[in-house]
Chain A
Amino acid sequence: MLQKLGKQVMIFDGAFGTELEKRGIMAKMPEMLNITNKEAIAEIHKSYIDAGCDFITTNTFGANKIKMGDANLREVITAAIELAKRHRTSQYVMMDIGPLGKMLYPLGELQFDDAYEAFKEMVTIASPSVDGFILETFSDLYELKCAMLAVKENCNKPVITTMTFDASGHTLTGTSPRIMAELMSAMGADAIGVNCSLGPKDLKPIVEEFLQYCDKPIIVQPNRGIPTLKNGKATYSLTVDEYATYMNEFREKGVAVLGGCCGTNPNFIRTIAVNKGLPVTPRQVRKETIVTSATRLVTLDGIRICGERINPTGKKKLKEAILNEDFEYIYKEAIKQEDAHAEILDVNLGVPKTDEVGNMKKVVMHLNEITSLPLQIDSSNVKALEAGCRYYNGICLINSVNGNKDSMDTIFPIVKKYGATLLGLTMDDNGIPKTAEERFEIADRIVKAAEADGIARHRIIIDTLTLTCSAQQPLVKETVKALSLVTKQLHVKTALGVSNVSFGMPNRELINSTFLTMALQNGLTMPIINPCNSMMLNTILSFKALTGTSADIDNFINMSVVQDIAKPAESSQMTLHDAIKRGLKEDSINLTNEALKSTDPMVIINETLIPALNEVGDEFEHQRIFLPQLIAASEACKEAFAIIKSRFQQTDSHKGTIILATVKGDVHDIGKNIVKVIFESYGYKVIDLGRDTAKEVIRDAYFKSNPDIIVLSALMTTTVLSMEDTIAYLKSEGVKCPIYVGGAVLNQILAKQINADCYTKDALEFVESVEKRK
């Protein structure tokens, strides 16, 4: 198959559902027909074989344990393959794998590892008896990546991957054809493209994007237009000839595999099969150094800022956050950097005595959803590095490999398996060489070895390594010179961790920005910096304005205006009390810092913060203010508390500990998060277990942190049962503290029925009743 694929035009079969419908066969699970109506299935396959296709797709689209539960999958899949083979002559039998029908965590509930197991089961049953796999109709890149890993790690058969795109030009979860093509190609798919989605006419721009960026053979299997549905029947309007005309155009432009999806039938396939065996039209593919998330592609064709803030080296607060598993701190850092114009984020969680592998998995999964920025997975622990790559959604940047053979032997396979881009450091067993030429030599070694191993040059970025000027001043010039050599002679993109240069020096900002300018002038593509530092950001903006296009000048002017507006007002008569009541975060922070210069922290809490909060609460109760204002005031107060808390040094300064969770089965968490903000604003320590929380997790958290109260939230009537179950379980396991409940569907009576110790109607009442207990 691989000898033909991409060289001569090949034909896939068409729709299965439409053919079943035509025969009057309806089934909730069409895969069961492999057992209950073998003749019909074999007959449909035969009709496509007679129509002239090269590939037959098995009737196994949904034959997975998530969709089919207890069904005997082995029996269903084995029968499907047998039926596909029954009338075949020279056709390739492709095991069909579709999405699992559940959204992957953290947006949904299905864990990546569970999804992997479901795909793996299909792959291992089918692989001995099929010619290859087709992963089709995916709309979530993350799920497709998971399925792809299940194929690649469990067999070595060819694999074709397709996704569905809509008229907006991307998948339902926001992935563009280019992002999909780049990731699938880097992970080793043998043909890549689009199926289902729309009719061929509307697919044109999507196919164009594949033609421009996909370096693997392209497959196109459109629908027969968009159907109308009446009394359970779909009606399509596109004719065979219209369909064939569009498909012919695709073939002329360079599409290598043609087929059909919903609404097509053997007539359609027969008509497009006239293209069979024609040479595939050659095309030019653009190759650039890129990194991507699922929804955003960053091309390193200009200066791209990599945010350095999620790296504990020299950052005490982050180190503490990682030690305490306070991941929200990390997520906030990510958002802050994105808002400050970072385009890639470094993620390094290396703190001794922590579970770096587990933490990396957790943090990467959540960052996939919270930020659209691509990530640089950064660790000296290979297992953590691999965990980061595995659970990442897109093409990440791996930091890093060096010129040492062992390092390359370890890292290259990870790059290939996960389709990542690679950061190479110009050092080896002998350390960092002194001269630029020696560093260039290592860069050259890495690039050549990677290319020999199948990792193309454009997938590599070289870091020529910054040394501190206080200790090794003569070597600063060498780093910069090496940038120039790598850029001009190796033609690869470059990176530098800029701020290392000023360790031990006064006026670090100035040194950093001067060094940054020198580096940019010598070809630095990806400065790894703190984007929240305005001097560094401004250096880049001004450098671009001086060396780039007129758009860079406009950008510089616009940004300068924004920064001027953002400067704080000179003087303010506002008090901390007012700032909190009005929910002004920045003012609350400034005024708290001001107050701490002359007032005891406890006095600020008792005489300003708590009275302000109580007044806000009172106004809320009397409906003079409403939820958004209550939350704004609470958030402002929380900021003030955080500053005061940092003054208490090591002493445990909170008023009490609360465990907070939305119960199992409920994915709504906005109500729970409101409660969290209000509790924190009153100075409580909140352990937030998140949503959809298993009762065992709550029990474990109870015994670990001995809270004063457990608060459970549920939004739906259905999850109240889960709440009841959770309460009964916790009490039987020896939980002694009171269990409070809240949520839209609960009331006093229901709360009592499910054995909760207390119910309140809103977040504020919660805090009040907890305060009263003291």
Chain B
Amino acid sequence: MRQEILKNLGYSAESTADSTTIQLIDQAIEEIQSISEFKYIYAYYDKPLGFMVENEAYLDYLNKSSGFLLCATTLGIQIDRYTKRLQINNMQYAVIFDAAASIYLVHKADEYERNLPYRNISWRFCPGYSGTPLADNITIAHLLKAEKIGISFTETNLMIPMKSMIGIVKIGGNRRKSCKGCIINDNCNYRKRGTTCYKN
């Protein structure tokens, strides 16, 4: 996880990071483990839903799959509170903590999905990818009753708590990720460094 957090912070490799940063990353992971309240809810569907049928990117993703899950996951509001506090008295750590929390959520969600009673689970496709509307998050949240795990939305469709994800996980089909269709494809700092924001 440390590697990915460094990558998120702009480091090209662990060897380029100073010992203080490494130490703070480890401290952040430990603190996130104790403060966060990871929650994950999902529902199984065997056919694309209305909002998906209208968008090729979803259909492309779901191609050859045997069904899919809608999912919503969060680290909880305490992370927002703590980040806010850190930004007042320790900005350096706040930046590291924020990056670490993002990666931590992805890891926890991946781990949770690996243990679901479905075979050949693929990577999560989140509204916003490949130009799909961010507002689809709200549609999915409504279907899942995501408010039950504390996810709500701002006027501009952003999720609160900040470390929350809503997505679609297909079962079966092609499981490789690619940068195709990503809106910042031409302007991506990861790609400029010769890497990607995901692992295949």
Interface on A for B, CB 8 Å cutoff? 28, 99, 101-103, 106-109, 139, 164, 166, 168, 172-174, 196, 229-232, 295, 328, 331-332, 335-336, 369-371, 583, 623-629, 631-632, 634-635, 665-670, 673-674, 677, 692, 716-719, 722, 745, 747
Contacts and interface: CB of A to CB of B under 8 A. Distances in A.
A661 to B, nearest CB: 15
B115 interface: no
Contacts of A673: 87, 91, 94
A231 B45 contact: yes
Contacts of A108: 152, 154, 160
B155 A626 contact: no
Contacts of B45: 230-232
Interface in B53-96: 76-78, 80-81, 83-85, 87-92, 94-96
Nearest to B11: A626
Of listed B9, B77, B142, residue having the most chain A CB within 10 A: B77
A625 B20 CA distance: 12
Interface in B125-155: 134, 142-144, 147-150, 152-155
A725 to B, nearest CB: 12
Contacts of A628: 9, 20-21, 24, 92, 95-96
Nearest to A335: B89
A626 B17 CA distance: 8
Interface in B3-31: 9-12, 16-18, 20-21, 24
A230 B67 CA distance: 11
Contacts of A718: 134, 156-158
B77 A174 contact: yes
Contact of A626 (B21, B89, B143): B21
Nearest to A164: B148
Nearest to B152: A103
Nearest to A229: B43
Contact of A28 (B18, B142, B155): B142
A724 B147 CA distance: 32
B88 A232 contact: no
Contact of B91 (A28, A139, A624, A635): A635
Nearest to A673: B87
Interface of B: 9-12, 16-18, 20-21, 24, 37, 39, 41-47, 76-78, 80-81, 83-85, 87-92, 94-96, 98, 134, 142-144, 147-150, 152-158, 160, 162, 183-184, 187
Contact of A629 (B12, B21, B87, B153): B21
A260 to B, nearest CB: 17
A666 B156 contact: yes
B158 A629 contact: no
7 contacts: A103-B160, A172-B76, A232-B45, A370-B81, A371-B85, A623-B10, A626-B10
A232 B41 CA distance: 13
B144 A229 contact: yes
Contacts of B78: 174, 295
A358 B103 CA distance: 39
Nearest to A108: B160
Nearest to A676: B91
Contact of A716 (B46, B150, B156): B156
A462 to B, nearest CB: 33
Contacts of A231: 43-47
Given A623-B12, A626-B16, A629-B21, A109 B154 contact: yes
Nearest to A233: B43
B187 A747 contact: yes
Given A168-B37, A335-B85, A722-B156, A583 B20 contact: yes
A48 to B, nearest CB: 22
A665 B85 contact: no
Contacts of B87: 669-670, 673
- Of the listed residues B11, B89, B160, B187, the one surrounded by the most CB atoms of chain A closer than 10 A to its CB is B89
User: Lowest 7 A-B CB distances belong to which pairs?
Assistant: A229-B43, A172-B150, A665-B156, A632-B92, A631-B92, A103-B160, A718-B156
Contacts of A168: 37
A526 B107 CA distance: 44
B5 to A, nearest CB: 10
A623 B158 CA distance: 32
A625 B19 CA distance: 12
Contact of B143 (A174, A232, A719, A722): A232
Contacts of B11: 626
Contacts of A632: 20, 92
Contact of B95 (A295, A335, A369, A627): A627
B117 to A, nearest CB: 10
A623 B16 contact: yes
Contacts of A670: 83, 87, 94-95, 98
Contacts of B21: 626, 628-629
Nearest to A666: B156
A295 B80 CA distance: 14
A164 B98 CA distance: 28
User: Which of B43, B91, B98 has its CB near the most chain A CB atoms (within 10 A)?
Assistant: B91
A172 B77 CA distance: 8
A668 B160 CA distance: 11
Given A173-B150, A229-B42, A583-B20, A665 B155 contact: yes
Nearest to B46: A231
Nearest to A168: B37
Contacts of B20: 583, 628-629, 632
A722 B37 CA distance: 33
Contacts of B77: 103, 107, 172-174
Interface centre among A102, A139, A627 (most CB of B within 10 A): A627
Contact of B81 (A369, A634, A717): A369
Given A665-B155, A670-B87, A626 B9 contact: yes
Contacts of B83: 670
A666 B155 CA distance: 9
B81 A635 contact: no
B43 A230 contact: yes
Contacts of A101: 147, 152
B185 to A, nearest CB: 13
Contacts of B88: 328, 331-332, 335, 370
Contacts of B158: 666-668, 716, 718
Given A229-B43, A335-B85, A667 B92 contact: no
A108 B43 CA distance: 27
Contacts of A369: 81, 84-85
A95 B9 CA distance: 51
A686 to B, nearest CB: 13
Contacts of A625: 18
Nearest to B21: A628
A229 B96 CA distance: 37
A415 B85 CA distance: 29
Contact of A102 (B10, B152, B183): B152
Contacts of B184: 745
Nearest to A28: B142
A171 to B, nearest CB: 9
A139 B150 contact: yes
A635 B92 contact: yes
B196 to A, nearest CB: 17
Contacts of A229: 41-44, 144
A66 to B, nearest CB: 11
Contacts of B89: 332, 335-336
Contacts of A172: 37, 76-77, 149-150
Given A28-B142, A231-B47, A626-B11, 10 more contacts: A103-B160, A230-B43, A295-B78, A370-B84, A583-B20, A626-B17, A628-B9, A669-B87, A716-B134, A745-B184
